[in-house]
Amino acid sequence: MKPWLIVLLIIILVLIAVLVLLYYFGNKMQKKAADNQAQMEAASQVVTMLVIDKKRLKLKEAGLPQIVIDQTPKYMRRSKVPIAKVKVGPQILNMICDEKVFEILPTKKEVKATVSGIYIMGVKGLRSSLEKPTGKKGFFRNLQDKARTALEEQKEIDAAKNKQKKKK
């Protein structure tokens, strides 16, 4: 057997083993995340709060309790997380937001939020509906939008041609 073929087979076997391990650990992590989400939803409550400010900060800079920082994995301590500074009743707290909530969370407005501990899971407007931000889109999102509009225009043109053919 040729040596390059043996090397190729070994590489393929290693890649298959890595894929199997990733699949196994991925399923395990997915089940764990679903259990954690169910526990958070069970412990959640609706709170009226005034959002003072929102930023992406490192955990150590966010002003969260020390027990929260100690419980996070070491590799996550350096990453930036979405933090909202809110006033709940007479207290001013720093809370962690969900990524989707962070995008629509208005500053300097009062909202009704679904909270589990120091984690904001959902948000609704108190006096009016929340506005979706029209922020900067990425390169691929712009390409997707252009392709989608071009496809819709082509469908409209095709539909008009079909109507003309039916009339004839």
pLDDT tens by residue, 63-118: 888 998 899 888 888 889 999 999 999 999 999 998 889 988 998 989 999 999 89
Q: Where are the alpha helices (DSSP H) in 43-116?
A: 66-71, 74-77, 99-104
159 has a pLDDT exceeding 80: yes
164 has a pLDDT exceeding 70: yes
Per-residue pLDDT band at 46 (split at 50, 70, 90): very high
Cα dihedral across residues 44, 48, 50, 51: positive or negative = positive
Q: Which residue has the higher pLDDT, 41 or 16?
A: 16
Q: Determine the pLDDT at residue 168.
A: 66
pTM of the model: 0.65
Those residues with Cβ within 8 angstroms of residue 69's Cβ, 6 or more apart along the chain or in another chain:
59, 60, 77
Q: Determine the pLDDT at residue 134.
A: 60
Q: Determine the pLDDT at residue 136.
A: 66
135 has a pLDDT exceeding 70: no
